[in-house]
Amino acid sequence: VITRFDGEKMVFPCKYIDDCHVCIGNSAYHICEFAEMQERNGNTYVPSAPKISDEIGTYEIYQIPATADVDYYFRPYAEAKGKLQNADYQRSYAGMYARGNSLEDLWAKHNRDSRPFAHRMRSMSVSDIVVLTQGGKKTAYYADTIGFKKAPEFLAQQRAQKKHKERGEAR
C-alpha cells in the first residue's frame, strides 16, 4: 500500500525477486531505487498485511506556514503549551521510519542541504510537529529548543477534527 503525499492510497501486488529486487505492480525495482523514488515523492509504503509492524513505521512532519499569524511560531514548547492548535499546521512531509531511527536522526536528515522535499518545505525547526506511527500507534512530538517534547494535544485535536468531518459537521 503506497500512500501518496495527498493521502490517496494505491494498492499494488508486490513480489519478491531476490534479496535486492522486487516487482511492484508491473515494474521491477532495485529496493533502494524504489525507496528513493518514494522518498522523493513524499510517499509512504507498507505491506497491506505487515508481519513486522513494530519494525517499520511512518513519520509526518507538520509545520506552521510562514504566512500564519501564530504567537508560538519558532517558540519553545513551554510557550506553545496550551496554545498549540492543530489547525495552525500543515503537513509538510511524510516518510518511512525504521525502529532504529531516532527523532534526532530525523532532525539531522531534515536540516541538511540535501534534505527530502527541500524545494517544498523549510528545514525542520523549533515548533514543528513530528507524528510517528509505529505498530498502529501514533505519537506526536514538538520540536523544542533542545530535543523533542510529547504533544498529545496535537493528536487529540486531529482526532476531533476527523470525527467532525466524518459526521459532516462544520468546525
Number of domains present in the structure of the chain? 2
d(CA 106, CA 16): 29
Do 109 and 151 share a domain, yes or no? yes
Do 90 and 15 share a domain, yes or no? no
The pLDDT value recorded for residue 171 is: 46
Do 100 and 145 share a domain, yes or no? yes
Do 72 and 22 share a domain, yes or no? no
| Boundaries of domain holding 133 | 56-167
State if pTM tops 0.85.
no
Sequence-distant (≥ 6) Cβ neighbours of residue 140 within 8 angstroms = 129, 130, 131, 150, 151, 152, 154, 155
Do 18 and 99 share a domain, yes or no? no
Q: Is residue 51 part of a domain?
A: no
Do 34 and 90 share a domain, yes or no? no
Q: Is residue 35 part of a domain?
A: yes
Q: What is the pLDDT of residues 1-60, one digit of tens each?
A: 888 877 888 999 988 899 889 999 999 999 889 988 888 888 888 777 665 556 678 899
